[in-house]
Structure 1
Amino acid sequence: MTLIDSDSDEKFEIARQLVLEGEGSSSRGSSKNARRFIRRDRLQAHQNLFHDYFTDPPIYHHKYFRKKFRMSRPLFLHIQAAIEAYEPYFVQRRDSSGRLGFSSLQKITTALRMLACGVTADFMDEYLKIGETTALRSLKMFVKAVVSIFSEECLRKPNNDDIVRLLAVGKKRGFPGMLGSIDCMHWKWKNCPTARHGMYFGHIHEPIIILEAMTFYDLWIWHAFLRLPKSHNDINVLDRSFIFSDLVQGRTPTVNYTINDHNYAIGYYFANGIYPQWATFVKTISAPQGNKKKYFAAAQESARKDVEHAFGVLQA
């Protein structure tokens, strides 16, 4: 990640600033209306970022990295290498004036901070020396590249290998045949159009949209249905989503397990009490009586916390 800058960058900058000021005074009649040029030291910003997080050892260790990027450094570097190889926008080049452009580390860091921390587009300018327009473009290009590169691996239903792994983990946790947990959460729609406020208003008097998700213990969300307003409940959302369309049409994954000497060929999911009495749902026992039922209810509720954990990570 070593960068080499040109000694002539200063001359290019002076010439570029003069051109910009000249254009402003000639085309608009006054230099006051010209776009003011800010000399950002991109190279120094990259070096600061590199020494802070990517040298060995870095100034900020892995706990600070995870806090700032919401992921480990090896995962960040894996994503960065894949995106840089896929999308030429993230390959560092010189601009028309000869200045060395932003590095992929700067662009991807800006995009991730906006996604993970919710900062504004111009928030990283003072640290990474990247303007608002470039930050927004980096975010859009980053999202498109991630979807194109990783969608077949992450944004999909479980395949046969995944089913085997999920069943093995479920059996180890005491629930053979368990494939995950399903639930809904209310999500504040910050940028809801004014015309739709009435439909999406919730009990907190703010627009709310419902997310239905299917998750497992490792925070893998392999089903997400985000569309319906707060006026719906979990059953209404279930009726409108396509999570069990394959089950209705008989295209279920191959699942074979035995419980109490009975063989089963359909996996099941943990759900809360509002969900219907379907064979594919295993709900807790309300007001359990006896040690056996109390133990089952506690184990089921403990394992169903997987989906609550995933929702907490998304909200954070």
Structure 2
Amino acid sequence: MSEPGTYVEKSFTRDTRYLTDRITRDGRDGWPVQPGRYRLVVARACPWANRAIIVRRLLGLEDALSMGICGPTHDKRSWTFDLDPDGLDPVLRIPRIQNAYFRRDPDYPRGITVPAIVDVPSGAVVTNDFKQITVDLETQWVDLHRAGAPDLYPEALRDEIEAVAEPIYQDINNGVYKCGFAGSQQSYEENYRRLFDRLDEVSERLRTRRYLVGQHITEADVRLFTTLVRFDPVYHGHFKCNRSKLTEMPVLWAYARDLFQTPGFGDTVDFTHIKQHYYVVHHDVNPTGIVPLGPDLSGWATPHHREELGGSPFGDGTPPGPVREPVDPAHNPVLSAVHA
């Protein structure tokens, strides 16, 4: 399942019992960083996987770490490779990411989630710990980063990044799910208030600074962006997070547009997959499975003026090169306007 969790006193609690092996420079867990050995499996619909897609692109790891892309919808068994012509991942030659979890543990009892990094020789999942995956790409895969790759997790800022990102995770990234999957009115209202209180707090922080931490993009911005870009298409309506649309929160809307228009962010976003996933898969929230036609996406291409606050997206680095695995232009029509 994409959102494994349980309901405790009618509140949604995410299942975070991940496979926590790490792929590191020294191979301490038995998984050394090696170009071509591993495959990152994602779904563009998933915000947690979208983080890994962005970081991989910003760091220029496409040649070192291949990527398999699942379709936007799935059943109870797992995400499938239905976008590939024969329904099999072209490298792993499996129809479902579930198969790679079972290669790791035939009785694997937890959620079948993306992102997941698979060891290609054995076909087994190494890790699906989405938070650690991006941090390790930033800190353990450094020998394979492209020339000019930004430092997304600067050592001097790591404590601040985590201090800022943790409440964002609890109340915003995961908070939208706590609203959407609330099992009681009280639980919904409590999490709704926490969500918008935190959004207001983050908005105030960003009023006078271009990025969440420091003078250029960091891991903290990646984590927040993937929720903000999904806010109006799905969370506002589907998850009843409807005090305000993102487009009605001026600072956050400008901040999100700034990131969206930065190479590596908006060019990874598939709005069609995002809407299909949430509205089709979550039968308990949307039993009809009807996918809305809106919202209007044209605003993502409008000027944001955030450069007036100083800072620069990549610090001393450079933008990533052309997109290797482009999003279908019909699924993100605003991209042509952004990069015109």
TM-score normalised by structure 1 residue count: 0.23
TM-score normalised by structure 2 residue count: 0.22
Structure holding more helix per residue: 1
Structure holding more strand per residue: 1
Structure whose alpha-carbon radius of gyration is higher: 1
